Homo-oligomer: A and B are copies of this chain.
């Protein structure tokens, strides 16, 4: 019994977030950290799609290790389901698990759980627009208005107009700076933020067309799933044989029915400490792009620095464009430019 007027949020909790080490660790990864406010990124992702007039209860796709965290963070009395990934196999199988377990006519809104979105209203409005296209079996990507020639994101080139959105001309992988500058200048390109809207059945049909073995393995896993309270545990065996692949590679770049809806919503993937600093600076009502630090910190002659500590007091003198992160038994100090390399540190990669 599906209310076809409602959108089904599918919140993806995979991803390790090694570039936000040492705050983000295997045992408590990025989605479950309160990086941009009192709520964790995961809690914000849930809240953002929680208006019962627009959204059905969410389905959360996560590894077994994080089921307890999810239950703790979502709070008692909430209506939700957790789809436990039998193995981490990237986004295509994770999304397909959700699609295969939903009514084929359910409209899914697939959202990463570790992004920041400043303007929740714009997000909800785009979801509504995308849902209209998805009902006609378009596979719809959110196309985020690019704020700069970012080389760390994929891009979407828009094609012909389609309802309140556009057909996708093509998806583009992370470009070099020169290309990124051209994309932004052209006005035809959006960032691909990994947010998608599908009719569940349409997604499974396209997956069966382009990755038939994956689609079959997912259907078998869901067919043999055990359900216990909020929790769905797909059968392990067939799922484990899947080759991991992103939804972009497996489906979006191959389908003839890719669409996009443009949206401007203060989005960031919080991909590293400098990106977090930018998101917090953007949220700062003072309009001063300055230091982000807890009240306990003591700063002398510092400019554009980020301080994030789980306890110890941080004092800093004479620094510019530096991030200082203190967490447990680890201290990280990096230039903003160096923040991309945090994942290479032994602490981040050998957890």
A residues in contact (CB < 8 Å) with B: 22, 298, 300-301, 309, 311-319, 322, 324, 326, 328-335, 337-339, 341-342, 344-347
Q: How far is the CA of A22 from the CA of B314 in the complex (A)?
A: 10
| CB-defined contacts of A314 to chain B, threshold 8 Å | 331-333
Interface centre among A311, A322, A341 (most CB of B within 10 A): A322
26 residue pairs bridging A and B, Cβ less than 8 Å apart: A298-B346, A298-B347, A301-B341, A309-B331, A311-B329, A312-B326, A312-B331, A313-B329, A313-B331, A313-B347, A315-B330, A315-B333, A315-B342, A316-B333, A317-B332, A317-B333, A317-B335, A317-B338, A318-B335, A318-B337, A318-B341, A319-B334, A322-B333, A324-B331, A324-B333, A333-B333
Instruction: Write out the residue numbers on chain B whose beta carbons fall within 8 Å of the beta carbon of A338.
Output: 300-301, 317-319
User: Closest Cβ of chain B: how far from A312's Cβ, in Å?
Assistant: 5
Contact A334 B317 (CB under 8 A): yes
Copies of chain A in the complex: 2
Which of A316, A318, A337: most chain B Cβ within 10 A?
Answer: A318
Q: Which residue of B lies closest to A317 (CB)?
A: B338
The distance from the CB of A316 to the nearest CB of chain B, in whole angstroms, is: 5
Establish whether residues B334 and A331, one from each chain, have CB atoms under 8 Å apart when the complex forms.
no
Q: How far is the CA of A316 from the CA of B313 in the complex (A)?
A: 18
CB neighbours (8 Å) of A346 from chain B are 298
**Residues of B contacting A322 with CB < 8 Å?**
319, 333
Shortest CB-to-CB span from A91 to chain B, Å, is 29
- A332 contacts which chain B residues (CB < 8 A)? 314-317
Asked, given contacts A346-B298, A347-B298, whether A315 binds B331 with beta carbons under 8 Å apart, the answer is yes
Report the minimal beta-carbon distance from A10 to chain B, rounded to whole angstroms: 35
Q: A300-B338, A300-B345 are in contact. Are A330 and B312 (CB under 8 A)?
A: yes
Q: Which residue of B lies closest to A347 (CB)?
A: B315
Q: Chain B residues near A342 (CB, 8 Å)? A: 315, 317
Tell whether, in the assembled complex, residue A298 and residue B345 are in contact, meaning their CB atoms are under 8 Å apart: yes
Which residues of B lie under 8 Å from residue A345 when comparing CB positions? 298, 300, 315, 317
Knowing A318-B335, A322-B319, A335-B319, say if A330 contacts B313 (CB, 8 Å): yes
Residue of B nearest to A297 (CB): B331
Residues of B close to A326: CB separation below 8 A: 312, 331
Report the bound CA distance from A314 to B315 in whole Å: 15
A316 contact set on B, CB distance < 8 A = 332-334
- A341 CA / B334 CA spacing, docked (Å): 22
A317 to B322, CA, bound (A): 10
